[in-house]
């Protein structure tokens, strides 16, 4: 096996994708970042432009792509509810046609392919915490379905390409992840609360704020990606990657206010439909198969993320 691999990262200009590009380049690989900049930002990767082993291609993964690569990370897809609901048909196409195109590429080049799946495959879960064996509770007709069902169909495609065409796959189900380079108007809870607190605006809690999420810092997540990609052919996932420590949205808001020393007030807005009430990964499988668990506590990760947004807003 080549030590330095040619690696395609779809969605490479996004929040997680740009950190992944950094990490793969630091490991000595050649990286081809493919992105249509729907939610990604050139700013996330501009420090890499000019690096000889780094190449960027503006491309929409719903169209076929012919390149020669050894590994593929398929991250292209808007992840924030506000963004994926903006053009739901394109979201579904990105997950489904994007998966078909990336899997077709993997089949032709015999590349190993990683899928960024999501805890949303569990929907509004009736089992808590969620193990990989849980089939989920998704409303197929609701406003989150373009994302949830798209990602579920993508998992099906990954497993069928694996069974039918022997494509080497790795599937991770990612739970809420945060960190520097989230888009300031991305609409997700961590970036929203921090930007609101730093700007002195009201902190918008949807519903009564008792709904829970479990937040994983981006560097922990990337350690999970690396460990999953390094497993032998016997382990393909799906495997949950997330931080099992659960917080309510009210607790998160209070933490952000305290850490930013903000005068912002909490305001309560209607809960969007189908908003999951609780979410916590069962990471038994990741611990056993990958020897992985998150190390960064929420307070430490928030400190880094607040520092990033402080600089960004000042500029």
Residues of this chain that bind ligand NAD (CB under 6 A): 10-11, 13-17, 35-40, 60-62, 75-79, 94, 98, 116, 118, 174, 176-177
294-304 burial, b for 16+ CB within 10 Å, e for fewer?
Answer: bebebeebbee
Out of ligand UDP, ligand NAD, none, what residue 11 binds, judged by CB under 5 to 8 A for its kind, is ligand NAD
Q: DSSP letter at 148?
A: H
Q: Please give the residues from 120 up to 179 whose contact with ligand UDP meets the rule CB under 6 A.
A: 176
Catalytic site residue 122?
A: no
d(CA 28, CA 109): 21
- Which of 249, 286, 296, 306 is in the footprint of ligand UDP by CB under 6 A? 249
Options 9-17, 66-74, 203-211, 228-236: segment touching ligand UDP (CB under 6 A): 203-211
- Interstrand relation of 169-174 and 239-241 (parallel, antiparallel or unpaired): parallel
Comparing CB distances to ligand UDP, the nearer of 80 and 260 is: 80
> Considering the complex, what minimum distance in angstroms separates the CB of residue 282 from ligand NAD?
16
Options 164-172, 218-226, 236-244, 268-276: segment touching ligand UDP (CB under 6 A): 268-276
Out of ligand UDP, ligand NAD, none, what residue 77 binds, judged by CB under 5 to 8 A for its kind, is ligand NAD
Four-residue CA torsion sign, 39, 44, 50, 55: negative
CB-side neighbour CA atoms (13 Å) of 304: 14
Out of ligand UDP, ligand NAD, none, what residue 275 binds, judged by CB under 5 to 8 A for its kind, is ligand UDP
Question: Is there binding between residue 205 and ligand UDP (CB under 6 A)?
Answer: yes
Residue with tokens 């993964």: 61
Instruction: Give, for 9, the enclosing helix (H) or strand (E).
Output: strand 6-10
Q: DSSP letter at 264?
A: P
Question: Is there binding between residue 211 and ligand UDP (CB under 6 A)?
Answer: yes
- 8 A C-beta contact, residue 19 and residue 12: no
> Considering the complex, what minimum distance in angstroms separates the CB of residue 158 from ligand UDP?
21
Options 127-135, 187-195, 233-241, 257-265: segment touching ligand UDP (CB under 6 A): 187-195
- Which of 55, 246, 275, 293 is in the footprint of ligand UDP by CB under 6 A? 275
Instruction: Give, for 22, the enclosing helix (H) or strand (E).
Output: helix 15-26
> Of residues 84, 147, 161, 178, which has the active-site annotation?
147
**Number of Cβ atoms within 10 Å of the Cβ of 233:** 9
Beta bridge partners of 74: 10, 115
Percent helix, strand, coil in the chain, to 5, is 40, 20, 40
> Considering the complex, what minimum distance in angstroms separates the CB of residue 141 from ligand UDP?
18
- Could you list the residues that contact ligand UDP (CB under 6 A)? 80-81, 176, 188-189, 192, 204-206, 211, 213, 249, 271-272, 275
Residues with a catalytic annotation lie at: 147
């Amino acid at each position: 096996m080549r030590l330095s691999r040619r690696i395609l990262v779809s969605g490479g200009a996004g929040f997680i994708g740009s950190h992944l590009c950094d990490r793969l380049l630091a490991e000595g690989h050649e990286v081809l970042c493919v992105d249509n900049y729907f939610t990604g930002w050139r700013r996330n990767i501009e420090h890499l432009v000019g690096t000889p082993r780094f190449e960027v291609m503006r491309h929409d993964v719903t169209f076929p792509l012919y390149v020669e690569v050894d590994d593929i990370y398929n991250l292209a897809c808007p992840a924030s509810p506000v963004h994926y609901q903006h053009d739901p048909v394109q979201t579904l196409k990105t997950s489904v046609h994007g998966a078909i195109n990336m899997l077709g590429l993997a089949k032709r080049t015999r590349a190993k392919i990683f899928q960024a799946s999501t805890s949303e495959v569990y929907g509004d879960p009736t089992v808590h915490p969620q193990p990989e064996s849980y089939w989920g509770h998704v409303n197929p007709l609701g406003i989150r379905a373009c994302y949830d069902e798209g990602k579920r169909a993508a998992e099906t495609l990954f497993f069928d390409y694996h069974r039918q065409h022997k494509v080497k796959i790795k599937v991770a189900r990612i739970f809420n992840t945060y960190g520097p380079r989230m888009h300031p108007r991305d609409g997700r809870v961590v970036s929203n609360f921090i930007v609101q607190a730093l700007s002195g605006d009201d902190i918008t809690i949807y519903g009564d704020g008792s709904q829970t999420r479990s937040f994983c810092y981006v560097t922990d997540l990337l350690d999970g990606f690396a460990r999953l990609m390094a497993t032998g052919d016997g382990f393909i996932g799906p495997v949950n990657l997330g931080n099992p420590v659960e917080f309510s949205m009210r607790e998160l808001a209070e933490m952000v206010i305290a850490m930013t020393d903000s005068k912002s007030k909490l305001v309560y807005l209607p809960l969007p439909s189908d908003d999951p009430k609780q979410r916590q990964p069962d990471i038994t499988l990741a611990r056993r198969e990958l020897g992985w668990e998150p190390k960064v506590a929420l307070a430490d990760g928030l400190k880094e993320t607040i520092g990033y947004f402080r600089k960004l807003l000042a500029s």
